[in-house]
Amino acid sequence: MERIIKKRADLCRRQLRGRQKVSGTAQRPRLSVYRSLRNISVQFVDDEAGKTLAAVSSRSKDFPKDQPGGNVKAAGILGKMAAEKARSAGIEEVVFDRGGRKYHGRIKALADAARKGGLKF
């Protein structure tokens, strides 16, 4: 049990460390990625106003139902969806917040797909 508590505390520490360096504005919001074992979600956050400008998730109705939400392919689909939603909200440039996770696998696939979709990091 102590191992699980330590892993969670380490993740929170990494998240806070990244949040000190990365902050979103209305012109350049923070693209915040949350990854669980089964799903991925993305939010475009204006930290100055404390508001979420747009959000998309692998649990949303727009996401293909035949595709499981917790793999690299799903992350790529979600990255494209996030780029489309951001462009419809008038967002072109973002600051990437990986949520304390390593930049590989699903996080990297999502970021690459968002870049291909037209977002500038």
Q: Report the C-alpha gap between 22 and 70 in whole angstroms.
A: 25
Is there a domain that residue 77 lies in?
A: yes
CB 97 within 8 A of CB 18: yes
Give the count of beta carbons closer than 10 Å to the beta carbon of residue 72.
Answer: 13
Is there a domain that residue 121 lies in?
A: no
Q: What is the per-residue pLDDT for 87?
A: 95
Residue type, 71: N
Each of the 121 residues of the chain gets a pLDDT tens digit; together they read 899 999 999 999 999 999 898 998 889 999 999 999 999 999 999 999 999 999 999 999 989 988 888 899 999 999 999 999 999 999 999 999 999 999 999 999 999 999 999 999 9
Helices 106-116 + 72-88 axis angle, to 10: 40
CATH of the domain at 22: 3.30.420.100
Tokens 């973002």 appear where? 94
Is there a domain that residue 36 lies in?
A: yes
Q: 82 is in which domain, residue-wise?
A: 2-116
Residue type, 74: A
Question: What does pTM read for this prediction?
Answer: 0.89
Domain count, the chain: 1
Is there a domain that residue 31 lies in?
A: yes
Six token digits for residue 99: 């949520």
